[in-house]
Structures are given as structure tokens and as C-alpha cells.
Amino acid sequence: MSFALKDKKLLVGSIAIITLLTLVITLILNSFLINDTIEEKSKKYYHTYVDNQYIKISDTYDSKGSSFTEALKKEGFLTRLKQFNHDLQTTDGLNFFEITKQHVAYWGYYNGKNNFVVAYDMDPTMKNRLIKTPAGQVYITPLYAIQVDSKAYNLFLKNILAAGEDFSDDAYNYQPDKTTIPCILGSNYSTVYEIGDLIQIEYLTKIINLEVSGFFDKTASIPINGSILYLDNYIILPSLNCQYDPQDPEEEFFQKILYDQKNSGYLIDEGLDYYAIVHSIANTYDLKYTVGTNKKDVSMVNQGVTALLTKKIVFIISIFLLLLAIFTLILVLMQKFHREAKKISINLICGASLSIIKVKMYSYVIFCYLISLIMALLIIGRDFFYISSENMAMGFTIIFFSLIAAIFTLNLLVNNYHLGNALRRR
Amino acid sequence: MIQLDKITKIYHNFGGNKKYALKEIDLFIKKGELVAIIGPSGAGKSTLLNILGGIDKPNSGHYYFDNTLIEFKANKLAHFRRNNIGFIVQNHALIEDMTVYDNIALPLKYSLKSKAQLENYVLEIASYLNIKDQLSNYPTQLSGGECQRVAIARAIINKPRLILADEPTGSLDSENKRNVMNIFKDIHKSTTTIIVTHDYEIADNCHRVIELNNGGIIENEKI
């Protein structure tokens, strides 16, 4: 029984088997990967907060009859915003961190990927809108961006860079003469920019340069607004601290907007009456902030359930495809065995051992599995390393047992094949 | 030489029903005997031959070859076939993409004979069976009688102790049939030969005729 490429039926069968097995192995390992990217990251980066809820703090301006525009004009508004922020950071029992979606506007003609452009799918005109500025007309394009303070960064994003450096302590400090602030880009940016590149953007009211200091790993994500946000297409900025008094109204306006954003962060729910605490602090400074109206559980539980469901569906599909692959494998081999049964039985009556033929068949099965495994690993790529050792062991156990099952079934079929009849074939 | 002790072979059909191909067969064949097995289709003749040749295994019973119990394990059976058995089957069972030379030499490949030995053996046997001129041809280029002589050459090249022939003359004309039978008469002097046949003329030329029906021996007659 020879396994040569000139056997066209075998070649076509082999391609089908290897394709199916590659798909199956990729799906099985990916089904664990889906779970692992969340579970493992939870274990690694979410520390003890994995079971906690995250409570959003929001301002209540522009609702309940209070206008943010009016508040902006009030005396000492910026100072109070800063004090509120300080109290959120320092009050006993409050575990506050800043994560805010704060998109930036690319300044100039944008030739980049559409994935990075805010709401491009819904409105392609978001890209390269021409606006008038005192210096003339300029194209702007909103890009997805998120700002995080050092606490949020350390909680969720530290040490998951694919390249470059985490934000330094200085990255969070903003001074008026600072025209460049560091940024870390999501993994999809890695083919667009290099470390050290400058990106000119409009951030709140300022035109500044972002200096690329690194790229996040593909799996980098943060909890925001009740879900896990993957940062592949995001620019991550430090949530800036302005430890100076503004020298002009424009600067003051910038800081007011910035601090309102900073204050709209999250509290880690540790069972206190946050509504009362936050209202109390906010009232002290005559500010309108609350918790709970936008209370979002950064639903690790929900996310876990979704992931589990996805995993289950992918897993069931994988098992179905695995059975199909094994069936195809057995069918192809048994058809070949049947085609060559006469030749095999002639060799047997001449003294050949069926064991040699079986070994050839099993080697072919192992070969198909190995090729498929290599191809699956190439498809999964670096993500493979995010699969936990337990899940990897489970995945490989399933694959190994399917291999054993295929060989066992083949052995049974070959043993029960009536080779004596094949000798009589014309 | 051969002793079968209550050999039973059962086949299961798709409905799960049992069919007895052989039912508690007891048989003794002496060394050098030329035995014919006859019977209608489905009587169990070929099954018996396959078990005697070690290409099929019984469900129960014992098979002794030269007083040695045959163990029906794949590797041991291969060794047993290689050293003891020569098969001749209906329709010759030659490998069409191999030359006559290679077909005849096939058993020697498994008994690890040297190339020189192999060539000597093939030439000797081909001369004996008058197919020396056909060695470089392929089976499709031969007549039915020549094909059967190639099959016989392949069966006896390893000097087996038992030759099993399943309908060896089934597809031959009367002249070739006589020739083949003469070859059997000639070679059985040194080898035990069992021939499965429907042909009573062939059976009459044997020392003994065993008649099978429904998996059992109904007659065991010395001629």
C-alpha cells in the first residue's frame, strides 16, 4: 500500500482531511483562546477586582435643568473640579480610576486605515472633514482614543506591550509648554507607525503631537461602559494631570473639560454607599456628579457567560467537524485499502504481514494530524501563547484522543476486512 | 500434517444475524496428500482454505500444522504463510503493474533471499513451468494458461510445505486444465496440496475428496 502523490483520489482526500483537521484544531484551540483572553487577563491583570463591579461616576450637567455651559462660567469651577478629583483619589474607601473614551482628531489629511476612524462604518464622511481654522482650512479625522490614569493603566494594561515602553510617571503630568505627549497604540497600528513617530492631533482644544512610545499586544483590553473593549484600533493616552494654574481662558477651558472627563471615571465596588459618598463630596464643591445612573457592571460575569457561550458553540462545531474529519479520514483510507485490497491480499499470501500495511496507514493518519497541527499553529500565531496550560492540555487531549479513535476504528475495519474475497476479484 | 479440531467460522451480516461458514470442522490431512475440496457455492470451501492458509482466523477451534498449534496473530501468521504456504487462486491474482519476473519473485522478497538467489530460483521455476520467455512481460500480455502457470510458479517458488489452490482451473480451457493438473500431480510428491474445485474431473485426480455443505463436511472419501 503506497501513499504516493500520483494517487489522485488519495491526494484530493488528503487535502480535504488536512483542511478539515486544520480547521478543527484551529477552532478547538481558538475556543479556548476566546475564554482565555478574558479569563487569563482577568487573572493576570484584574487582580482581586475580577469579581467586583465597577461603578461609573458621571456628571449630571445638561440634565435635571443644570447646564454644563453655565457651570463652566461659574467662579472657581476648575478648582472645584480638581478638588473633587483629588478627593476621589484620596478618600478612604474609594477605589477610583480614570478611564474615559476621548477621541482625538487627526490633524491633516488622513491616509490611514478606516478601522481607526470613529464611526467610519456608519458615516464614511467622518474621514477628512474640511474645517476652518484661524490658520486656514484643515482636514480633520476623528480617531478612536482612550485616556487612562496611572491606576487604571497599572490595573489593566501594564506589561502587555508587544513593543515599546509603558507610560512613565512623567507621562501623566502636563505643562503648558509640553507640545508632545506620549501615546501607546493598539496592535493594528503596529504596521502603520513606528516607535518614536509623531502624530499631530487635536486633543480637546489643543493641537498637540502624540509620540508613539509603544504598541499594545493584540489581546489588550479594558473595561469600559459595561463591556470589555479591545484596544486593537485605539490610541491610548495618559489621563493628564495639570498641576498648574491656567494662564489664559483657553487654557482654563481646556483644563475644565479635561477634569470633567477625568472625574467621570469608575469606582471599584467594595460594598459602600457610593451614592451618598460621591454626592457628599460633589456637594461640598457644588458640583453635579452622581453614581449609578450610568452604573455599569464591567460585567466580567456577563462577559464570561458570553465567552462561555461562544466557546461552547465553537466547541460543539469543532467536535462536529472533528467527527467529520475522522469520518473522511477513515473513508479515504478504507477506500484506498479497498482499491488495493487485491494487491494487499496477494502480498499477504506471498508472506507479507498486515502489520506493515497497518503501520503505513497509521503513519499517514499521524502525518495528516501533524501537518494540520502545524498549519493550525501558523494560523493561530502568537495567540497560541495566551492559551492557558490547562486548556492547552485539554485541547491537545481531545486532538490526541481523536487520533487514537481514528487509528482504533481503522484497525477494527482492517481486521474485519475479508481479504480472502479480494483475492478472487478480477 | 494438518489437523483441524472443531473449527468454526461465523460471519455477521448487516442485520446482525450469524452465518456459519464453517461449523465445528474436524479434519486430518497427511503429508504429501493431494486433496480436493468440493461443494456448492457458499459451502465454506474458500473459508476453509483461507483458514488453512492463515489469511482468515476461525472463531473457535484449533488448527495444528505439523503438530504445532497455529496462533492466529498477525505477525505469527505472516511468518507461518511465508515459511509454509503457497497460494494459487482463481483468476490467478497477479499484480498487473509488475512483470512476470517480479510476480514470481514476490514471496522471495518477504523471505529475504539475496538478489542472486532470487534470480536463480525464478529462472529455475520459470524453466520448469515453461514461462521463461515471458519473464519480462506483464500479466496482461499473457494467455490464461500462462497466467495460471505464473501463479503456480509464485506459489511454489518458496518451496512451501502446503499448497492451497482455490479453483485453479476455473478459468482455463480443457488443455490448460490438464496441464495445470499435471503440474499439481508432479509437485504434490514433495508438497501437500489442497485444491478447492467445482470440477469433479479435477477431484477425481486427487487422493481424497472432501465434500462440504452448509459449513460442514458431508463426505470424506478416499479415491
Query: pLDDT for A215-258, tens place per residue?
Result: 998 878 887 766 778 888 999 999 999 988 888 888 888 899 99
Any domain includes A274 = yes
> A372 and A401 share a domain?
yes
Q: Do B47 and A420 touch (CB under 8 A)?
A: yes
Do B154 and A350 count as a contact with CB atoms less than 8 A apart?
Answer: yes
Domain for residue A95, yes or no?
yes
Domain membership of residue A339 as a residue range: 8-42+303-422
Mutate to test the interface with A, among B49, B77, B83, B106 (most CBs of A within 10 A): B106
- Please indicate, yes or no, if residue A1 is contained in any of the structural domains: no
pLDDT at A45 over 90: no
Structurally, how many domains does chain A consist of? 2
Of the pLDDT bands very low, low, confident and very high (cuts 50, 70, 90), residue A304 is: very low
The total of other beta-carbon atoms located within 10 Å of residue A8's CB is 8
Which residues of chain A are within 8 Å of residue B74 when distances are taken between CB atoms?
353-355
Please check whether residues A203 and A69 belong to one and the same domain.
yes
Q: Do A351 and B94 touch (CB under 8 A)?
A: no
pLDDT at A149 over 60: yes
User: Domain boundary at A269, A299, A329, which?
Assistant: A299
pLDDT for residue A32: 67
Q: What is the pLDDT of residues B201-216, one digit of tens each?
A: 888 888 889 999 888 8
Same domain, residue pair A17 and A63: no
**Is the pLDDT higher at B100 or at A92?**
B100
CA nearest to B84, candidates B198, B192, B173, B212: B192
Do both A109 and A258 map to the same domain?
A: yes
**Are residues A32 and A57 part of one domain?**
no
Average pLDDT over residues A33-52: 43
A398 located within any domain: yes
Are A288 and A337 members of one domain?
Answer: no
Beta carbons of A348 and B90 less than 8 Å apart: no
Question: How far is B219 from chain A, CA to nearest CA, in Å?
Answer: 25
Query: What domains are there in chain B, each with its CATH number?
Result: 30-58+72-222 (3.40.50.300)
**Which B residues 152-191 touch A at CB under 8 Å?**
154, 158, 166
Give chain B positions within 8 Å (CB) of A343. Answer: 95
Select from A280, A299, A318 the last residue of a domain. A299
The reply to whether A236 and A365 lie within a common domain is no
Residues of A in contact with B90 (CB under 8 A): 423-424
ipTM score: 0.83
* 3-class DSSP string for chain B: CEEEEEEEEEEECCCCCEEEEEEEEEEEECCCCEEEEECCCCCCHHHHHHHHCCCCCCCEEEEEECCEECCCCHHHHHHHHHHHEEEEECCCCCCCCCCHHHHHHHHHHHCCCCHHHHHHHHHHHHHHCCCHHHCCCCHHHCCHHHHHHHHHHHHHCCCCCEEEEECCCCCCCHHHHHHHHHHHHHHCCCCEEEEECCCHHHHHCCCEEEEEECCEEEEEEEC
Higher pLDDT, A128 or A415: A128
Q: Are residues A59 and A31 in the same domain?
A: no
Q: Is the same domain home to A88 and A228? A: yes
pLDDT (mean) for A19-33: 80
Q: Is residue A2 part of a domain?
A: no
Q: Which residues of A touch B (CB under 8 A)?
A: 342-343, 345-355, 418-420, 423-426
Range A249-272 average pLDDT: 88
Contact A420 B55 (CB under 8 A): yes
Q: Do residues A292 and A328 both lie within one domain?
A: no
Instruction: Report yes or no on A3 lying in a domain.
Output: no
pTM confidence score: 0.54
Task: Evaluate whether residue A237 is within a structural domain.
Answer: yes
Structural domain contains residue A311 = yes
The string of pLDDT tens digits covering residues B74-87 is 778 888 888 899 98
